[in-house]
Amino acid sequence: METPKVFESEYRFCLILWEHEPVSSGELVKLCGEQLGWKPTTVYTVIKRLSERGVLKNENSVVTSLVSKDAVQAAEIDELVEKKFEGSLPAFVAAFTKHRKISEKEIDAVQQMIDRYRKETTND
């Protein structure tokens, strides 16, 4: 199943939802008002729109996500790599590392991920 697209303002809404779910729609209105400066009508519109796209469900005024933060982030990265780097992960990494200082700790963490991935794929 493909992860539904979540746009930037919706993503900020989802961050609040993921942190507090399950949460009443009334509480979401309050939280979004405090954290995003949104009016109640905006919150209810976003709840309806994301519900229609299968990102969340709103049952009996209790809102829960149907898509995880990790899934939304992964879909966004996939789209970025596909659109801007013609699907090339090495080109993405090269562009990322060219303009950003990466610590030894971060390099080690990435290397561990690569090693773990390589081990998992060779055992399949």
Q: What is the pLDDT of residue 123?
A: 75
Q: Quick one: pLDDT band at residue 2, thresholds 50, 70, 90? A: confident
Mean pLDDT is highest, among 46-50, 78-82, 120-124, for 46-50
- CA–CA distance, 108 with 106 (Å, rounded to integer): 5
Whether the pLDDT of residue 92 is over 80: the answer is yes
- Mean pLDDT of all residues in 90-98: 90
Q: What is the mean pLDDT of the chain?
A: 94
H-assigned helices in 62-124: 69-85, 89-98, 104-122
Q: What is the pLDDT of residue 99?
A: 84
Burial group, residue 92, by CB count within 10 angstroms (0-12, 13-18, 19+): middle
- Mean pLDDT of all residues in 42-59: 97
How far from the centroid of its chain's Cα atoms is residue 37's Cα? 21
pTM: 0.80
- Mean pLDDT of all residues in 13-25: 98
Q: What is the pLDDT of residue 37?
A: 98
Which residue, 47, 41, 38, is CA-closest to 14? 47
- Mean pLDDT of all residues in 80-93: 93
Q: Quick one: pLDDT band at residue 124, thresholds 50, 70, 90? A: low
**Lookup: tokens for 42:** 């905006």
Q: What is the pLDDT of residue 1?
A: 67
- Burial code of 53-81, b = ≥16 C-beta within 10 A, e = fewer? eebbebeeeebebebeeebbeebeeeeeb
Which residue, 53, 26, 54, is CA-closest to 40? 26
